[in-house]
Amino acid sequence: MDARFWLIQAFNGLSYGALLFLVGSGLSLIFGVMRIVNLAHGSYFLLGGYVALSVIWTTGSWLLALPAAALAVALLGLAMERVFLRPLGFDPLRQVLLTVGFAFLFQQAALDIWTGNNFDISPPPALTRSIVVAGLYLPLYRLFMIAMALAIGLALWLTMEKTRLGATIRATVDDAQMARGVGIDTSFVSMLIFALGAFLAALGGVIGGAFLGVYPGLDFEMLPIAFAVVIIGGMGSLGGAAIGALLVGLADNFGKALFPEVSYFTLYAPMALILAVKPTGLFGRE
Amino acid sequence: MSMAGAWGKVLAVVAALAVVALVTPHMSSFVILLTTRALAFSILVMSLDILLGFTGLASLGQAAYLGIGAYITAILATRYGMGLGYDFWLVIALGILGGALLAALFGLLAIRATGVYFLMITLALGQCVWGLAYRWNSLTGGDNGINLGQRPKFGIDLGDEVTFFYLVFALFALSLAIMYTLVRSPFGRSLVGIRERELRMKILGYNTWLHKYLAFIIAGGFGGLAGVLWAHTAGIVSPENVVLTTSVDALLMAVLGGAGTLVGGVIGAAVVFALREYLSTLVPWWQYALGGVYVLTIFYLPTGLMGIPARVRQRRAALRNRENSKELASVAS
């Protein structure tokens, strides 16, 4: 175990964290705004990958698949929020169960449409090369993932902090009742955030499809990891999601490399401890 | 609820159970196995109902206790040859103890949390157990799990499906009786009080933390028992038993049947097992049926299947009231 090992693991952890940020930030915003524990979030990730595959098979364009899949799943999320979650009102248990019912429905639909085979999403050839930095081979695709997460993170941050829309979202996270009182349409904000969360998760599914693959069961594998990101970082906070994603990405990589037998334990035990000590997460808004 | 009504319900449940016990052995071996599985899992669902329906704590990690009971059984059986004779009863005791101890540990972290946070923390704790089961290859066999090989023999041969069914049935009925007594005891009543309004119970001088903690441990113990039986029912123990979807299943079964009724969880389990394992052999779209049942129940039957009679009665009473008021109106005019 020399410096190379540490550097490569750190780089892999960083790029995995970039992917987790896409999934986790949406989940975190959804929870922050609506207090909904969305157990269908892993399904958005998986469906994103599947829709992208269909787009690639018909048009051959990976570049087109990326936004197409994300938008399609965002519409799905929007419909789910409008037709089912909104009428339910605030009832955490029923909301959770409803999202899980949908997760099962999506699972079966995916199985029917895309069969039970394992697929890979091959990125464009330009991104499959590696570059050499200081004697380390860095796959360009992983660099692209990091760049993508940074760009999206920056866009989200600017929207949240510098625009009027962002201010209404932050107000809704902090105190939805008060926000309604001063005339903010929190129902519209919820719809928007839910669609955005689904959009980001699906984007993650397309991007992650290149090295995680796309296969049945990926939805419920991704879901608890996304929750770990959200909880460690803090619910409803964008910066928290970024730090949570980074920590989970690194912990996952080093855990698997250093102590494989307890690697998931080292991921979820801190999550439980943080919840017990500070339920709002490390950087959550009180 | 009147005293007579309560006894009527108990009698109805006893009669239904008697029918299950009498009819099942004459069915095909597939149905016998299916019923045995459903009964073993029902113990877990009922244990969850103590938390969900009676204490108001929705746990998303109940599979952890099923898992600990199942892994204790499998590891003792394959490594030390334990639990395959009369010491099967010792393994049952150890499974219950294991579940209760795990819950005692997890409860220290989880009990303070409420609502959504309780959901999340139990999810995280359940994932800890899953992570160990999945990755700790040298102990748990990792992804492949552990094959048990054979069922215990002690005077009776549990390898025989009908004998095993009777054993699981007996332990199930015993668990139901104990849990029913528990929720109707003063302790159970104070749990309901906590569910309805924890602050008021605190003001009345109840140690609500301790009540919830004890309920959590009791549920864990029954979960461990379910795990021991589940291990021998399936013949294999794998991370599938502790995965998040298993916890979710238990939660959905409890809600589908009707939370806070104990028996509802059993009905929920029966419906889900029938759909999943029986319907799946007949049609390819069974999971749509399952997902549809969940979504429709949550939407239209928040009190679950057990709540249907009450809803029908309400509907009728409302109709009668309307007619009465119409008559009154016509008389008055």
- pLDDT value of residue B332: 63
- pLDDT value of residue A79: 92
Please give chain A's pLDDT, 286 residues, in tens: 577 888 888 888 899 999 999 999 989 888 888 888 888 999 999 999 999 999 988 988 888 889 999 999 999 999 998 888 888 777 778 888 888 888 888 988 888 888 888 888 888 887 777 777 777 778 888 889 999 999 999 999 999 889 998 888 888 888 888 888 888 888 888 899 999 999 999 999 999 888 888 888 888 888 988 988 888 887 777 888 888 899 888 888 888 888 877 778 888 888 888 888 877 667 665 5
In a domain, A234, yes or no: no
Q: Please give the model's pTM, rounded to 2 decimal places.
A: 0.87
Nearest to B128 among A105, A265, A279 (CB): A265
Cα separation, A168 vs A177, whole angstroms: 12
B positions 250-279 inside 8 Å of A (CB): 251-252, 255
B318 to chain A, closest Cα gap in Å: 24
Are the C-beta atoms of B45 and B254 separated by less than 8 Å? yes
Return the closest-CA partner of residue B180 out of B43, B76, B84, B279.
B43
DSSP letter assigned to residue B241: G
Q: Which residue has the tokens 């669902």?
A: B45
Are the C-beta atoms of A48 and A201 separated by less than 8 Å? yes
**CA distances (Å), origin B14, targets A88, A201, B32, B173, B174:** 36, 49, 19, 9, 12
Nearest to B120 among A37, A93, A273 (CB): A37
pLDDT in tens, A12-55: 889 999 999 999 998 988 888 888 888 899 999 999 999 999 99
Are the C-beta atoms of A231 and A37 separated by less than 8 Å? no
Return the closest-CA partner of residue A76 out of A56, A34, A46, A112.
A46
CB neighbours of residue A262 within 10 Å: 16
A positions 221-250 inside 8 Å of B (CB): 223-224, 227-228, 231
Structurally, chain A folds into a number of domains equal to 1
In a domain, A259, yes or no: no
In a domain, A286, yes or no: no
Nearest to B128 among A260, A268, A276 (CB): A268
Cα separation, A171 vs A190, whole angstroms: 12
- pLDDT value of residue A35: 80
Cα separation, A23 vs A87, whole angstroms: 26
A38 to chain B, closest Cα gap in Å: 11
- pLDDT value of residue B212: 93
B165 to chain A, closest Cα gap in Å: 30
Interface probe for A, chosen from B123, B130, B253, B280 (most Cβ of A below 10 Å), is B123
3-state class (DSSP) for residue B85: coil
In a domain, A66, yes or no: yes
- pLDDT value of residue A255: 83
In a domain, A275, yes or no: no
Q: What are phi and psi of A266, to 5 degrees?
A: -70, -15
Return the closest-CA partner of residue A104 out of B253, B296, B290.
B290
3-state class (DSSP) for residue A61: coil
Q: Is B235 on the interface with A (CB under 8 A)?
A: no
* ipTM of this predicted structure: 0.83
Cα separation, B263 vs B248, whole angstroms: 18
On the 0-12 / 13-18 / 19+ scale of CB atoms within 10 A, A149 is buried
Q: Do B288 and A39 touch (CB under 8 A)?
A: no
Scanning every residue of chain A, which has its alpha carbon at the shortest distance from the alpha carbon of B138? A261
CATH architecture of B21-302: Orthogonal Bundle (1.10)
Q: Is B214 on the interface with A (CB under 8 A)?
A: no
- pLDDT value of residue A3: 79
- pLDDT value of residue A285: 57
Q: Is A96 on the interface with B (CB under 8 A)?
A: yes
In a domain, A194, yes or no: yes
Residues 6+ apart with CB under 8 A from A34: A85, A190, A193, A194
Using only C-alpha atoms, what is the Rg of chain A? 19
Enclosing domain of residue A207: 12-216
Q: Which residue has the tokens 């938390």?
A: B51
A135 to chain B, closest Cα gap in Å: 33
Are the C-beta atoms of B267 and B305 separated by less than 8 Å? yes
Cα separation, A27 vs A152, whole angstroms: 15
Are the C-beta atoms of A42 and A219 separated by less than 8 Å? yes
Return the closest-CA partner of residue B264 out of B274, B272, B255, B275.
B255
Are the C-beta atoms of A235 and A32 separated by less than 8 Å? yes
Return the closest-CA partner of residue A25 out of A126, A210, A184, A159.
A159
Q: Which amino acid is at B32?
A: I
Segments in chain A forming alpha helices (H): 3-34, 41-59, 62-80, 86-88, 92-114, 140-162, 164-174, 176-181, 186-208, 218-233, 238-258, 265-277
Return the closest-CA partner of residue A199 out of A156, A142, A235, A157.
A156
- For B203-233, letters b (16+ CB in 10 Å) and e give eeebebeebbbbbbbbbbbbbbbbbbbbbbb
Residues 6+ apart with CB under 8 A from A249: A13, A14, A15, A16, A17, A18, A19, A20
Torsional sign, CA B111, B115, B121, B124: positive
In a domain, A152, yes or no: yes
Please give chain B's pLDDT, 333 residues, in tens: 455 677 888 888 888 888 888 888 888 888 898 999 999 999 999 999 999 989 988 899 999 999 999 999 999 988 888 878 888 899 999 999 999 999 999 999 888 887 788 888 899 899 999 988 988 888 888 888 888 878 888 878 887 888 899 999 999 999 999 999 999 999 999 999 988 888 898 899 899 899 999 999 999 999 999 999 999 998 899 998 898 889 988 998 999 888 888 999 999 999 988 888 878 788 777 778 888 888 888 888 878 888 888 888 888 888 888 888 777 777 665
Return the closest-CA partner of residue B66 out of B294, B239, B290.
B239
The token pair at A89 is: 């009102």
DSSP letter assigned to residue A214: B
Q: Is A67 on the interface with B (CB under 8 A)?
A: no
Segments in chain B forming alpha helices (H): 3-23, 29-49, 63-80, 88-110, 115-135, 137-140, 161-184, 186-196, 198-203, 208-234, 244-257, 263-273, 280-282, 286-300, 308-332
Q: Which residues of B touch A111 (CB under 8 A)?
A: 287
In a domain, A18, yes or no: yes
Angle between helices A186-208 and A140-162 (to 10 degrees): 170
Q: What are phi and psi of B137, to 5 degrees?
A: -55, -45
Scanning every residue of chain A, which has its alpha carbon at the shortest distance from the alpha carbon of B57? A93
Interface probe for B, chosen from A27, A33, A91, A104 (most Cβ of B below 10 Å), is A104
A232 to chain B, closest Cα gap in Å: 11
Cα separation, A248 vs A228, whole angstroms: 7
